[in-house]
Structure 1
Amino acid sequence: MSYIGIDLGTSSLKAILIDDDQIVLAEHSVALTVSRPHDGWSEQDPRQWSEAMQKAIGSLAEQADLSAVRGIGLSGHMHGATLLDASDTVLRPCILWNDTRSSHEASLMDADPQFRNISGNIVFAGFTAPKVAWVKNHEPEIFAKIAKVLLPKDYLRLLLIGDHVAEMSDAAGTSWLDVARRDWSDDLLAATSLERSQMPRLVEGSETSGILRDQLAQQWGLPKGVIVAGGAGDNAASAIGAGVVAKGDAFVSLGTSGVLFAASDAYQPDAASAVHTFCHALPDTWHQMGVILAATDALQWLSRLTGQPASELTQDLGTLQAPSRTLFLPYLGGERTPHNDTNIRGQFLHLDHSTDAKQATRAVLEGVAFAFADCHAALKSTGTTIERAVALGGGAKSEYWLNVIATTLDIPLLVPKAGDFGAALGAARLTIMAVNNAGIDVASLPPIAKTIHPDAVLQSAFAQTHERYRTAYDVLKSL
């Protein structure tokens, strides 16, 4: 048997085909674009997603025989507001996770104690509920037509199975879910002038959400009766792909945004810390995340500024060095954990005539690591202990960066062997569970190529520079 995992990312949609031994048989990615019509806005046309899925699965069919496929799993970027009318027509472009236009609406909702009490989280401007509240305030004619609110990957699910379904890990990032009870909160929906009928039904990530439409099965060369699993939001799916499923397991992800993720067997919210407390993709499990909005995005910003590709900026950095006097605060589009500040912006500090591209690169890598250290401290404040973490994401290809992060966080980082152990694999693993009624053993730790240990000699220097970084943030905040 074989299984398809689809990951709807911000910049691309990726599909993989794996067999029962989790060997990747075929894969394909399709690039996506983001529209930014105004400052702080970030949108995508869901038609892009549909077209990209068609291309990706079409490519899998060219690379391999899909007649043995038994299931499809979905992963996707979280928090997006995909608004549909009664005929399932998209009403407007999807407002994405990194869109901050709804900061006013988020503040008003967060001031209502029931949101933190029930959802277990601060109402961040990036979450779904304040985005829909913004639509109500600024596009009332569209709000009046809303029949269903779907998260991005669940719009793809609608196309696949013809039903409106979400799963717990993604739904937890809407500000409408009772995260402890793993169900929609009628009170939180009512507080935003919505009702349960406008929400998709809920399943666990490892459960069946529906059956692939016969028309699509025939078009793609799949058999009838292919199961579509619940799947997961991108970070929970990445955790499944990396084997981060039990208490004490963790990963650090260096993608467009940065995530420090820890699995848990209990619901232990601490909204004031700005730590995200969400359902995991498996029943009766939860997870906590510290999220920074610019990780590799900060490096890409420096790449555009210098005209050098990010790969060139990070090559030949040599062995780990003590941080320089130059500081970089990576708040290019605001920040989540622990600051919850949509208005703060990044800064370079202590530049001089000798600062060159390499020094600026090191400062950016260090600044992102210090932001991760702030997340780590926030997670610690909730009682979560991280003793080691799997390193994921495109930025994890830089060993220098991993050395900086391991030394700053004072934890070893496990680097998987060559291969993709991210969200697409996690989605496919959840499909194996759904099709075969299998347990968490499916989501094992990937083979580890090496372990990056903290540099004991330089730890003190990095700790002192992190304190300077925190002071710089306090000064910036006061301006």
Structure 2
Amino acid sequence: MHLGIDLGTSGVKAVLIDDSQALIAQATAPLEVHRPHPLWSEQDPEDWWTATISAIADLKSAHPQAMAAVRAIGLSGQMHGATLLDRNDRVLRPAILWNDGRSGAECAELERRAPSLRAVTGNRAMPGFTAPKLLWVAAHEPDVFAATAKVLLPKDYLRLRMTGDHASDLSDSAGTLWLDVGARAWSPAMLEATGLSESHMPRLFEGSQPTGTLRPDIAAAWGVPPGTLVAAGAGDNAAGAVGVGVVAPGTAFLSLGTSGVLFVSGDRFAPNPERGVHAFCHALPGRWHQMSVILSAAASLTFAARLTGCADEATLLREAEDHPPDIGSLVFLPYLSGERTPHNDPAAKGVVFGLTHDTSRGALARAVLEGVAFALRDGLDALEEAGTSVGRLLVIGGGARSALWGRILASALDRPLDYPAGAEVGPAFGAARLARLAETGEDPETVCRPLPVRAGIDPDPALAEAMSRRHRLFRRLYGDLKDTFRDSNDA
């Protein structure tokens, strides 16, 4: 048995898989995001640990024998979060999350201090990344910065509680802007640019390597054997790729979670920072990947359901399904938390354009689905401008449950979509696969096989034509509003 734990933004998921990689059980525990000020997004690391204990307790209660047979544990988690610890490993402040936009000015300062940033890290400085957050803390909370002895990513805080080790994997660490992504090592120059050194960082491992063993008291409480290995694991997107078998160069997936991600696996470091494309290490040795990222995918649907008083997202999707494809000039810009690819614009805002007295909730829901699809198309274009070829896309994440969204996405992206069986388990399944690799040392290609495809959706030319005018309007609106977004933050 192998256990995978995924620390997401909205909850912690734990899964058990057997030696045939069949899913034995899963459990989840919810989390909340706190937004005390505009652009801020934070969570208390203690809540992560409490949710993890809750999810594991559910597995232990329902499947004690399976838990007693666990041989290794893998970790996956939301990327980029800044978890600041003092010399006694006490949390100094709430963790600043991946979708926090407060450090826009610090991004410009970081690029000024480190002119080689883009060449070394393969990325532009964006507020979501970890390093600019530390510059913000240094400027606005100097006592906290001075007391900071270690900076951990979210899943690695769980590891610390589980094993006592300060350790991380390369895929997650590539999202900090402190890693030399091509060399797969910490960059002294990038650390120095934020007033830190390698002593503030965890030790680095490939995702399929063990980093330590579970503490005896935790093993006893969880009902797993003493000495259970803990694998380095991966950032959530790399773990999701391992879970669905996107490890061979050129394979790709689309993730429709809180954020939206286009992920392409490769065998070399291939950055395109000018267009906001992320170039990171993959979770396996000798592999890298590229990503285009939008910050609000399924989160946009959640927002629309709350805004319109709809019971839940599923009800809103049904109303969108019932509405004809023609929604006139109704366009939604999904920049609720700013945007990454291709705009790198933390000041961008969500916009609904084209409202009339006749606009229905179903039409608005359909505009939201289209707006996310259009934003992902912008990201796809940025990937291809860098010479990355993207063919068929596997679709994972909570948004993959909507066939309507699939038809809209396939038509907007002009790509066929494949829906793998079992993909709803997500990054936690990839974390469990990495746990197995850490324990057995098997060939990753053998373990990380693609999941069987349960359904496919091809582009619909008629639907693409129906959306084409709104797609053009979508792009024009951002260009027209870009300066206004920025000025409104200063008003």
TM-score w.r.t. the length of structure 1 is 0.97
Instruction: Report if aligned partners of 2:327, 2:363 keep a CA contact under 8 Å in 1.
Output: no
CA–CA distance in 2 between the matches of 1:320 and 1:162? 56
CA–CA distance in 2 between the matches of 1:249 and 1:465? 30
Give the Å deviation of 1:219.
2.1
Q: Which of these residues, 353, 358, 373, is aligned with residue 357 of structure 2?
A: 353
Match of 1:84 in 2: 85
Give the Å deviation of 1:478.
3.9
Give the Å deviation of 1:447.
1.6
CA–CA distance in 2 between the matches of 1:243 and 1:468? 36
Match of 2:210 in 1: 208
Instruction: Report if aligned partners of 1:324, 1:363 keep a CA contact under 8 Å in 2.
Output: no
Match of 2:475 in 1: 470
| Helix, strand or coil at the partner of 2:424 | coil
Say if 1:172 and 1:419 are closer, same or farther in 2 by CA, change over 3 A: closer
Instruction: Report if aligned partners of 2:294, 2:376 keep a CA contact under 8 Å in 1.
Output: yes
Match of 1:387 in 2: 391
Instruction: Report if aligned partners of 2:397, 2:423 keep a CA contact under 8 Å in 1.
Output: no
Say if 1:275 and 1:447 are closer, same or farther in 2 by CA, change over 3 A: same
Match of 1:376 in 2: 380
CA–CA distance in 1 between the matches of 2:476 and 2:247? 36
- Are residue 284 (structure 1) and residue 291 (structure 2) matched? no
Give the Å deviation of 1:470.
0.8
CA–CA distance in 2 between the matches of 1:302 and 1:457? 26
Instruction: Report if aligned partners of 2:103, 2:132 keep a CA contact under 8 Å in 1.
Output: yes
Q: Deviations over 1:18-75 (max 9, x none)?
A: 1011111121101111111111111111111111111111211111112211000000
**Aligned positions of 1:79-118 closer than 5 A:** 79-111=80-112, 112-118=114-120
- Are residue 49 (structure 1) and residue 42 (structure 2) matched? no
- Are residue 166 (structure 1) and residue 165 (structure 2) matched? no
| Helix, strand or coil at the partner of 1:288 | strand
Match of 1:61 in 2: 60
Match of 1:32 in 2: 31
Q: Deviations over 1:317-349 (max 9, x none)?
A: 159835632111111121100000011112111
Match of 2:313 in 1: 310
Match of 1:365 in 2: 369
Give the Å deviation of 1:107.
1.6
Give the Å deviation of 1:263.
0.7
Match of 2:446 in 1: 441
Q: Deviations over 1:122-179 (max 9, x none)?
A: 0111110011111111111111111110000000101111110010000000000000
CA–CA distance in 1 between the matches of 2:372 and 2:324? 15
In structure 1, stretches of 5+ residues that fail to align are none
Match of 2:462 in 1: 457
Give the Å deviation of 1:463.
3.5
CA–CA distance in 2 between the matches of 1:88 and 1:251? 37
Name the structure with the higher helix share: 2
CA–CA distance in 1 between the matches of 2:219 and 2:464? 55
Corresponding residue pairs, total: 478
Match of 2:245 in 1: 243
In structure 2, stretches of 5+ residues that fail to align are 485-491
- Are residue 195 (structure 1) and residue 194 (structure 2) matched? no
Match of 1:407 in 2: 411
CA–CA distance in 1 between the matches of 2:249 and 2:378? 21
Percent identity between the two aligned chains = 50
User: Which amino acid in the other structure matches residue 406 of structure 1?
Assistant: A
> Higher mean Cα deviation, 317-326 or 351-360?
317-326
**Aligned positions of 1:120-159 closer than 5 A:** 120-159=122-161
| Helix, strand or coil at the partner of 2:3 | strand
Q: Give the root-mean-square deviation of aligned CA atoms.
A: 1.3
